Amino acid sequence: MKVLLTEGIHPVATELFRRAGCDVDLRKGSLSEDELIEELPGVTLLGIRSNTRVTPRVLDAGKDLLALGCFCIGTNQVHLTDAAERGQAVFNAPFSNTRSVVELVLGEIIALARRLPEKTQRMHEGIWDKSAKGSHEVRGRTLGILGYGNIGTQLSNVAEAFGMRVIFYDTADRLAHGNAKRVGSLDELLAESDVVSIHVDGRPGNAGLFGAEQFAKMKPRAIFINASRGMVVDELALREHILSGHLAGAAMDVFPIEPKAQGDPFDSPLRGLDNVILTPHVGGSTQEAQEEIGYFVANKLLGFVNGGSTALSVNLPQVGLPRPPGTFRMAYLHTSVPGVLADINRTVAETGVNVVGQSLSTSGDHGYVLTDTDAALPEEALATLRRSAHTVWLRTWQP
């Protein structure tokens, strides 16, 4: 198998793929749509991070592509529905860098509350500015978390240990951790919070979620942090509220437009502002997190190509059936219509082969079945299933 890994994915992934006998092609930076289209023929597995866009044109070019791995949390850079229609599984790492993002955000909260960015800059300029003006402890202050998922909940726990009061708002029904309190609206969260930290996903509906109207509703001298998605925030509106003094500071780790490669020029209307921290999308970029992501996603991709497991796939029905030693496995992806499982079992039964284990899951337009048998299914039976109008693909593995 040929594996293409882009954007400097951790070497542990390369090692796992090579141990499995794969031919690995490594790229340090992201690839454009046209570059991906040129490179994909013959590629079985594609590994990307957040900067590479996998469009329908790219997926069409990947005639040999079985699966994609997003070596990060988000998957909005991949057209998931189009990948599912082509039977290409997509995996990500939804939990592996949670702690890294939380630690960055907490460090930024403390740094901004103490106005460390401007103090540091003035020291580098040779100015001794010893003053407590505008400097506060975080203990006793209110942190408002917009988006209470994996990162939001862990941030809630750690911030509370620092003595902060935590409130949160999420459109989904989320269980509060510790002493955190859910509020009924975003406006309520903005009115009460000394610090607002955004942790939402990259779905299209979140584009432009936070603009001039939302900044105006924040408490005077509050702090704003975005370590989620760049397209969520109106940077010009944030700039105006920093310059006016309405907000005391901000930290941004993500941006609407980000450079493609290491060392490329970067620009933002937030550059040059006092008490504003700008970091180059490094929330999850610790050595520990990147190693864990490399290990996790690479194993998910290998589990899929070597045994058909779709556990934690973000676009195909999730099936992870333990495989008894010595069995023969058939993986069957099909359109989700009534009677397909009955057709499979009827076809298998007519061969006289015994089913040892079987698991079916459906999601959206697709159903997925893993079937383990005590003997290989005859080619005629497999051909019958492949000819079905409902078949997307069928694959088999021997012991």
Residues identified as active-site: 229, 258, 281
What tokens appear for 261 in the block? 């490669």
Q: Which of 294, 370, 383 is nearest to 331 (CA)?
A: 370
Q: Which of 38, 51, 42, 60 is nearest to 6 (CA)?
A: 51
Q: 205 in helix, strand or coil? A: helix
Q: Are 325 and 104 in contact (CB under 8 A)?
A: no
Distances 373 to 31, 120, 351 between C-alpha atoms, Å: 42, 66, 11
Q: Which of 185, 251, 249, 240 is nearest to 216 (CA)?
A: 240
Distances 389 to 172, 335, 383, 385, 386 between C-alpha atoms, Å: 38, 9, 12, 9, 8
Q: If you ran DSSP here, which 8-state letter would residue 113 be given?
A: H
Q: Are 69 and 297 in contact (CB under 8 A)?
A: yes
- Torsion-angle region of 177 (φ positive above 0: left; ψ -120 to 50: alpha; else: beta): beta
Query: How far is residue 176's CA from residue 86's CA, in Å, rounded to a whole number?
Result: 39
What contacts 16, CB < 8 A, 6 or more positions away?
294, 295, 298, 299, 302
Residue written as token pair 């996603």: 297
Query: How far is residue 359's CA from residue 47's CA, in Å, rounded to a whole number?
Result: 28
